Structure 1
Amino acid sequence: MATELRVLRPAEWDVWYGQLELAFGGVPEAPEERELWDALTEVERSLGAWDGDLCVGTTGAFSFRISVPGGALVPAAGVTMVSVAPTHRRRGILTAMMRRQLDDVRAAGEPLAVLRASEQEIYGRFGYGMATRRLWADIDTTRVRLSVPEGTDDVRLRLAAPADASGACEAVYARLVPGRPGMLARRPGWERLPLLDPPSEREGASPLVCVLAERAGEVAGYALYRVRPKWDEAGPAGVVEVPHLGALDPAAYAALCRYLFGIDLTSSVRMPDRPVDDAWQHLVSDLRRCRPSLRDGLYVRLVDVGAALEARTYRAPVDVVLEVADAFCPWNAGRWRLTGDAGGAVCRRTDAAADVALSVRDLGAVYLGGFALDALAAAGRVRELREGALAEASLAFGSAVAPWVPHGF
């Protein structure tokens, strides 16, 4: 029987999501986690591949707005929940779903599609480039000391129930979004995601705890954390795990870090998903004992090259013709003249000679400013066609702040 690809019907969500769970190992999610994703799923943007009554493929998209260099919030499809049944692999189902999805994104007028990849090698052939990285660290707080800035002692810290503090945390988060490329403006309902804390996934750790940093009665930062108790022959060796941390100024940030580093009966702090330029690296006395490591983060796909490049600003003046290769979305292929600076940009089709040649995947990789064009050129992935054009474009595409997406979707 031929596979049918169609938009998800609300009554089919349980079967559709069950196929996704099966593809990701077959372990059922906690009821509260399943209920949240049921509530957040945009069924009209979700696709299912069906072999008769069997769901054999899934993909969906969330209607996001993502911060780009310059602070604008740009519409983007947050690609999610992608799976193919193991019995139906290598039949073109994934390609068909990606084809339909990108056509729909283009029809919706969204210039970008973004995703977090379960397996890095899957999405490059569909034009997605790795645009951000995530910093992980396990900090030995028995050996590492903090040097905090002036004003840290003026910050008041207060514990609060995570649900009760959610509004204050979200207000801080919303103020941070325009200042860092890659951050997602959270729509109503998404404030529940940081609070998701099923006991089945704690692996012996405590429920989430919230600490607020306040100045003059106003919340200037927050941390959501849990403690994993542990004892060894030397005594207490608990781990403080920090899935969410945000602050509006250096003093509030440092006050939160100092608090997390000093929790009783613990000997380490785990920062599992932070921007690569996170400030704690410049507060600690010994970076080596923090064991930092990098992992891939957000993948970006330009669905409309002209609109996407016009949506952001540029760190230095630029006037360059880009020769873009895009076999999967051929409407993007060809030459585009980009002119812009810190005040804005224009990007239009042109017949002029190309200055720089690259794939749409590599354009996605540099779009948020996390990777440099000249670094990709050193790897042979970008070609300079006019002397000096690569340095000009590489500088312009850069960002003073490392791009970062703070949570999955």
Structure 2
Amino acid sequence: MNRAIVHMDLDTFFVSCERLNHSELNGIPLIIGGGDRGVVASCSYEARKFGVRSAMPIRMALRLCPDAKVVKGDYENFSKMSHLVTEVIQDKVPLMEKASIDEFYLDLTGMDKFFGCYQWTKEIASAVKNETGLPISFALSNNKTVSKIGTGESKPEGKFQIRETEIQPFLNPLSVKKIPMVGDKTFQLLSRIGVRTIHTLSEMPVLVLQQMIGANGKELWKKANGIDENPVVPYSEKKSISSERTFATDSIDVLEIKRLISGMAEKLAYQLRQEKWLTSTVVIKIRYSNFDTETKQHKIAYTSADHTLSRVALELFNKVYTRRMRIRLVGLRFTDLVHGNHQMNLFEDTEEQMSLYQTMDYLKNRFGKDALGRASGYDFGK
């Protein structure tokens, strides 16, 4: 049986959410992001005409489009709307994967005998628009890669079906950058040998690709040839991740406890990025020597950046530790998670910080998660 895989993507999700609540933002170049040294989290199609793109420094975006309006964004509302869309889709399909805060994969294999998969998907897209007010695009094909590329080519509010016999003619003329796993470095590497279109890439020998880019070479070749066996993973929302430490001897060493909290925040944030989660709530817990337990939490913009999470955790510790008593246990928890592809907070962090995190994660992945860390999380006196 041929698979029927749909990719659905909310069009300029953050922009659309803001425009639902602020109609005066309709039709103008709009940038969602934060601060002069921040980066673009999302931008409207009006801004994209001037060359503005996600992850671009705000300053550069405003040089390209001086008339753009910059809005920080209501992150709690983004989460609320994402959950609402999830409920609408999940209620109507047998199998759904939430790939990010605004992306979904649906497996409709076998549903064509009931209603027709393409017509079914159009009904789902219409339900999303009617019940949430948010525009959404989709593409239907026989695997996740082709469907995702198809959605990108169909926006805004696109409806696209790519049948099996149409896959290679559809893919061939496109840039290799359209393949989801191809980043800037891989694109530059391929460009240097004249490989710029998917058609050229699809005809390269697999062994040559493996020699050039390693183990992912075969996977890249398969995607260029429209082959992707990856299943749609059933959606389940992870609620939280946490870490606790019970001291062998009750402690009143505040500096040591703060170092421990910083270390916890860094390791948990690394776990968030590896598993592609973002958190919006930080919770600190302490247990005194008499077993009294106190917690305090704080809502933040969605992030997986440990410098932000560590700062908030330490601020919460200063607020919750009000008795001058020894501490038996300290714990840190990140909750209200959303599953996303961002590896850090695009709303507030700078381009330099983004590069730092990418480098740190690369080194941790290669040499182990304890290979390096922030000085604040280590006790050099021991």
Give the TM interval when normalised to the shorter protein: under 0.3
Structure with greater strand share of residues: 1
Query: More helix per residue: 1 or 2?
Result: 2
Q: TM-score, normalised by structure 2?
A: 0.26
TM-score computed with the length of structure 1 as normaliser: 0.25
